[in-house]
C-alpha cells in the first residue's frame, strides 16, 4: 500500500481529499494534517510515501514546507493540491521536486488520474538500477497524464448534458441540483442523475455547503479544462 499524508488547513477539504484517496486501489491515508507543524511531525515518524500538500497553511506555505522536508533529508514524494494558480508558485513547486500539481477545485477522477500515474511511476522505478534513454523517456512520460471524456451512459443524452454544461458555465457560483433543475427546466431527479455522472467523469467539481442541520448540500461547478 502507498501511505498518503493529506495536508490541508480546511478540515472539511482534508476529509474530502482523504475520502478520495481511500477510493483509489493501492492507496491508504496514513494521516491528515492541518498545518505544517503537524505534517512535519507525521513525516518525522516515518512510513509516509506521498504527501498531498496544500499551499496555503496557517503557519507557513506548502512550498516552504517542501523545502524544509528536503533539507531534513526526507525523500517523501509530494503532489501539490492547491488553489494557487500563479506561475511563480507552479515553477517553484517544480524546482522543489513536486511530482504533480493539481489545481482546486477538482473532482475525484482528477485526483485519481494523478494517483494512478504516481503508482505507475513507482512500479516502473521499483528494482531499477540503470536505464537506457528509452526507459528514461518512459519514466518521465509516466506522469504526463491526459484527461479523457467518458462516453455517455445509457439513458443520458448529449443535448441534456450540454444544457447542464451551459447552466453551470453561466452561473457565478457553484449550484445545487435543485438550482440546476430550476435554471434548466429539468426535473430534480434528472438533474441529479446527470450531475452525478458528470462529476464521476471529471467534468464537474463537487463542493459541499454545510447548513444549520449539519448535513452538507452538494454544489457543482464546471471543472477547469473540461470539455
> Per the confidence metrics, is the pTM higher than 0.85?
no
Give the range among 13-22, 107-116, 217-226 with minimum mean pLDDT.
217-226
Higher local confidence (pLDDT), 226 or 24: 24
For position 162, what pLDDT does the model report? 86
Confidence of residue 148 (pLDDT cuts 50, 70, 90): very low
pLDDT of 155 above 80: no
99 compared with 149, residue with greater pLDDT: 99
| Those residues with Cβ within 8 angstroms of residue 134's Cβ, 6 or more apart along the chain or in another chain | none
- Count of beta carbons in the 10 Å neighbourhood of residue 18: 18
Cell of 70: 528536503
C-alpha cell at 87: 506561475
Name the DSSP class of 99: S
Label residue 146 by pLDDT band (50, 70, 90): very low
Does position 150 have pLDDT exceeding 90, yes or no?
no
- Between residues 125 and 56, the one the model is more confident about: 56
Quick one: which H or E segment has residue 18? Answer: helix 11-22
With 60 as the cut, is the pLDDT of residue 147 above it?
A: no
pLDDT of residue 135: 59
Grouping H, G, I as helix, E, B as strand and the rest as coil, residue 222 is strand
pLDDT tens, residue by residue, 38-93: 999 999 999 999 999 999 999 999 999 999 999 998 889 999 998 888 888 888 88
- The secondary structure element, H or E, covering residue 210 is strand 204-210
Question: Is pLDDT above 70 for 132?
Answer: no
| Whether pLDDT at 212 is above 70 | no
**Cell, residue 117:** 500515474
pLDDT at position 141, please? 59
**Selected residue with higher pLDDT from 125 and 140:** 125
> pLDDT over 90 for what percent of the chain?
40
Name the grid cell of 210: 454545510
CB 44 within 8 A of CB 83: no
Q: Strand 175-176 to strand 216-222: parallel, antiparallel, or no bridges (unpaired)?
A: antiparallel
Max CA distance (Å), the chain: 60
Determine the pLDDT at residue 66: 93
Q: How far is CA 104 from CA 110, 120, 190, 198, 225, in A?
A: 10, 23, 27, 17, 12
Query: Residue 143 pLDDT > 70, yes or no?
Result: no
The mean pLDDT value of the chain amounts to 84
Q: What is the percentage of the chain residues whose pLDDT exceeds 70? A: 83
Q: Which residues are registered as beta bridge partners of 178?
A: none
The secondary element (H helix, E strand) that includes residue 79 is: strand 77-82
Residue 121 phi, psi dihedral angles, 5° rounding: -60, -45
Output 145 or 171, whichever has higher pLDDT: 171
Amino acid at each position: 500500500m502507498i501511505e498518503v499524508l493529506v495536508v490541508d488547513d480546511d478540515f472539511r477539504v482534508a476529509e474530502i481529499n482523504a475520502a478520495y484517496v481511500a477510493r483509489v486501489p493501492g492507496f491508504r491515508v496514513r494521516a491528515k494534517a492541518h498545518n505544517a507543524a503537524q505534517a512535519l511531525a507525521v513525516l518525522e515518524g516515518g512510513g509516509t510515501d506521498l504527501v498531498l500538500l496544500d499551499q496555503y497553511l496557517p503557519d507557513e506555505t506548502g512550498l516552504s514546507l517542501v523545502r524544509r522536508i528536503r533539507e531534513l533529508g526526507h525523500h517523501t514524494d509530494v503532489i501539490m493540491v492547491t488553489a494557487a494558480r500563479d506561475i511563480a508558485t507552479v515553477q517553484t513547486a517544480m524546482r522543489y521536486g513536486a511530482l504533480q500539481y493539481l489545481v482546486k477545485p477538482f473532482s475525484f477522477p482528477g485526483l485519481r488520474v494523478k494517483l494512478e500515474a504516481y503508482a505507475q511511476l513507482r512500479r516502473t522505478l521499483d528494482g531499477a538500477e540503470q536505464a537506457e534513454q528509452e526507459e528514461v523517456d518512459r519514466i518521465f512520460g509516466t506522469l504526463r497524464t491526459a484527461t479523457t471524456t467518458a462516453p455517455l451512459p445509457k439513458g443520458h443524452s448529449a443535448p441534456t448534458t450540454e444544457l447542464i454544461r451551459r447552466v453551470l458555465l453561466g452561473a457565478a457560483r457553484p449550484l445545487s441540483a435543485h438550482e440546476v433543475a430550476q435554471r434548466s427546466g429539468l426535473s430534480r431527479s434528472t438533474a441529479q442523475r446527470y450531475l452525478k455522472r458528470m462529476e464521476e467523469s471529471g467534468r464537474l467539481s463537487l463542493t459541499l455547503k454545510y447548513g444549520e442541520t449539519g448535513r452538507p448540500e452538494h454544489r457543482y461547478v464546471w471543472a477547469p479544462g473540461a470539455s
